[in-house]
């Protein structure tokens, strides 16, 4: 059973295995620098469906099914699944996964959902209460634009600090035993809100949450940046990544040589006109599953932190002048136990 280090941080006793992982992205994401890393690139942004929302449901379902297929598993082999998305009431997830008949725990952590699902899956697996547990999430450019900004036909201008919501999904299956990658520890984030109100500057809103969680993990465990090959965030983008490094330096924590951000990696901002980078639940999920986990599996990466970030806001709250509370959950992933 996991050992409680602090109110936030737990180390796993048996280091659950991430036995399988899968990533599916849209055409634009497939044209980016990481295009060759993803399992599948879908050129039809509708995924054969009638609406954008149904398209996202299909995207997530296909990704979960692919993760199971890669582990030679069927839905009845999965004890539980943790998942969520950005659409109201997480309908991308519920409609996508309803036919799989897997005991379901819905999450809303905004863009931190993959880390939250992986964290909870790891704790449940390590407790002995679960066998094989899946964690997944997704986002779709067109569903997010319609909900959080403007319908695509509006043609609104994007500010330089704005990020591009990824059409992407990532899914993992955890097991009490198996091969690398392993989950070594987790840290539950606390809500941080420094008063940012600009919904087009999510990186600035979320960077303080990432800094808080990373610092807390180092304080709780005694680890230092040099103990890791990579300290991965998602999705701060170019603006938030710079701010994160500055915030941690104020506490004498220098992660500049170790830090990578999924939102900054997935697109070429100049060639693809994505401004500050990628965002959306599926951004960090697909980059984790497509780019980082294979490297941990082979041993190219020995130790990494995955600290996905989420802006816990809604269009209604933003229109009422509310600031943007943010969260970051952390998962420590290793090549060896």
Q: Which helix (H) or strand (E) holds 91?
A: helix 91-97
Question: Average pLDDT of 237-242?
Answer: 94
- Give tens-digit pLDDT for 37-88: 999 999 999 999 999 999 999 999 999 999 999 999 999 999 999 999 999 9
Residue 154: the pLDDT is 45
Question: Average pLDDT of 265-284?
Answer: 91
Tokens of 18: 């991430």
Tell which phi-psi region holds residue 39, choosing left (phi > 0), alpha (psi between -120 and 50) or beta.
alpha
From CA 81, how far away is CA 92, in angstroms rounded? 14
Q: For residue 283, give every residue at least 6 positions away whose Cβ sits within 8 Å of its Cβ, in sequence order, or none.
A: 111, 139, 165, 166, 168, 234, 235, 262, 263, 266
- Tell me which of 22-36, 254-268, 316-330 is least confident: 316-330
pTM of the model: 0.95
Residue 19 reports pLDDT greater than 80: yes
Residue 319: the pLDDT is 83
Q: Which of 173, 12, 180, 209 is nearest to 82 (CA)?
A: 173
Question: Average pLDDT of 308-330?
Answer: 93
- For 226-289, give the DSSP string: GG-SEEEEES-HHHHHHHHHHHHHTTT---TTTEEEHHHHSS-HHHHT-TT-EESHHHHHHHII
Residue 161: the pLDDT is 56
Q: Which helix (H) or strand (E) holds 30?
A: helix 27-30
- Give tens-digit pLDDT for 95-148: 999 999 999 999 999 999 999 999 999 999 999 998 999 999 999 999 987 766
- For 158-179, give the DSSP string: PPTT--EEP-EEEEEEEESS-S
Residue 202: the pLDDT is 84
For residues 90 and 137, the answer to whether their CB atoms sit within 8 Å is no
Residue 153 reports pLDDT greater than 70: no
| Dihedral angle sign, alpha carbons of residues 196, 199, 203, 206 | positive
Question: Average pLDDT of 213-231?
Answer: 98
In a 13 Å sphere around the CA of 247, the CA atoms on its Cβ side amount to 20
What does DSSP assign to residue 190? -
| Dihedral angle sign, alpha carbons of residues 79, 113, 19, 215 | negative
Residue 261: the pLDDT is 98
Domains of the chain, earliest start first: 3-175 (3.40.47.40), 184-334 (3.40.47.40)
Q: Give the pLDDT band of residue 159 (cuts 50, 70, 90).
A: low
Residue 25 reports pLDDT greater than 70: yes
Residue 149: the pLDDT is 58
Kindly report the average pLDDT of the chain as a whole number.
94
């Amino acid at each position: 059973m996991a050992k409680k280090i602090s109110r936030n941080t737990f180390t796993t006793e048996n280091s659950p295995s991430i036995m399988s992982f899968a990533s599916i992205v849209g055409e634009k994401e497939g044209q980016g620098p990481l295009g060759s890393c993803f399992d599948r690139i879908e050129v039809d942004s509708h995924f054969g469906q009638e609406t954008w929302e149904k398209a996202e449901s299909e995207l997530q379902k296909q990704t979960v099914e692919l993760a199971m297929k890669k582990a030679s598993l069927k839905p009845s082999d999965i004890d539980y699944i943790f998942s969520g998305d950005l659409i109201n009431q997480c309908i991308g997830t519920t409609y996508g996964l309803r036919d799989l008949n897997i005991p379901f725990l819905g999450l809303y952590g905004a863009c931190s959902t993959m880390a939250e699902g992986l964290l909870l899956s790891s704790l449940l697996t390590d407790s002995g209460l679960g066998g094989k547990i899946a964690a997944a999430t997704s986002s779709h450019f067109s569903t997010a634009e319609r909900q959080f900004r403007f319908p695509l036909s509006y043609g609104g201008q994007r500010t330089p600090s704005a990020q591009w919501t990824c059409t992407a999904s990532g899914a993992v299956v955890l097991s009490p035993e198996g091969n690398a990658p392993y989950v070594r520890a987790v840290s539950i984030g606390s809500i941080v809100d420094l008063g940012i109100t600009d919904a087009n500057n999510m990186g600035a809103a979320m960077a303080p949450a990432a800094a808080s969680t990373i610092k807390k993990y180092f304080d709780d465990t005694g680890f230092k940046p040099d103990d890791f090959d990579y300290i991965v965030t998602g999705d701060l983008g170019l603006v938030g990544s710079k701010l994160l490094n500055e915030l941690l330096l104020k506490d004498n924590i220098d992660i500049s040589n170790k830090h990578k951000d999924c939102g900054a990696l997935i697109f070429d901002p100049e060639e693809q006109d994505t401004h500050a980078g990628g965002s959306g639940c599926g951004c960090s999920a697909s980059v984790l599953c497509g780019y980082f986990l294979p490297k941990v599996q082979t041993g190219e990466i020995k130790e990494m932190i995955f600290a996905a970030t989420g802006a816990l806001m809604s269009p209604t709250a933003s229109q009422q002048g509310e600031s943007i509370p943010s969260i970051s959950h952390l998962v420590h992933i290793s090549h060896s136990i």
